[in-house]
């Protein structure tokens, strides 16, 4: 196994771990959804009760953050699987670039993934896999 193949396998594992961390920590927004539902159900009624639209805002924005993070986690898992199989290099590059936005872990993982994927020897590995995949 070459050094590039070892790097790709390691990056694949890190993508799986990072996706799990991202999905787990996105569940923090469930607190916002619960607060919003409590507002809508009247648990916070009284003289100084917040307006009902605020409850809807909590539910919708919290849900949007959770759904977005879970979709990103799924895409990161897909990128990790593609790195492991040496397929869909462009997809992996795009996901690595998007990961760079998520500081600090995503930035580190995205930068290292981009460094490895942009090497000519790694490009050759992906092309070799693509050539053998089409014939079998």
Q: Does residue 128 register a pLDDT over 90?
A: no
Determine the pLDDT at residue 134.
59
pLDDT per residue as tens digits for the range 16-60: 999 999 999 999 999 999 999 998 888 777 777 788 889 999 999
Please report, for residues 3, 12, 91, 124, the alpha-carbon distance to residue 7 in angstroms, rounded to integers and kept in the order given: 6, 8, 18, 14
Q: Phi/psi class of residue 49: alpha, beta or left (left: φ > 0; alpha: ψ in -120 to 50)?
A: beta
Read off the pLDDT of each residue in 95-124 and give the average, rounded to a whole number: 95
- Within 49-119, residue ranges assigned H as helices are 52-85, 89-99, 105-117
**Domain spans of the chain, in order of start:** 3-126
Helix (H, G, I), strand (E, B) or coil at 102: coil
Q: Does residue 135 register a pLDDT over 70?
A: no
pLDDT band at 136 (very low <50, low <70, confident <90, very high): very low
pTM over 0.85: yes
Q: Which residues contact 119 (CB under 8 A, 6 or more apart)?
A: 4
């Amino acid at each position: 196994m070459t050094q590039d193949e070892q790097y790709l396998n390691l990056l694949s594992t890190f993508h799986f771990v990072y996706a799990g961390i991202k999905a787990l920590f996105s569940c923090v927004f469930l607190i916002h959804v619960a607060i919003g539902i409590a507002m809508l159900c009247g648990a916070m009624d009284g003289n100084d009760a917040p307006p009902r639209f605020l409850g809807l805002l909590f539910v919708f924005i919290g849900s949007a953050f959770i759904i977005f993070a879970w979709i990103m986690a799924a895409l990161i898992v897909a990128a990790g699987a593609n790195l492991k199989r040496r397929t869909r290099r462009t997809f992996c590059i795009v996901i690595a670039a998007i990961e760079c936005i998520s500081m600090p872990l995503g930035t580190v993982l995205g930068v290292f993934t981009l460094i490895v994927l942009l090497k000519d020897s790694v490009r050759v590995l992906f092309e070799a896999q693509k050539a053998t995949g089409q014939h079998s």
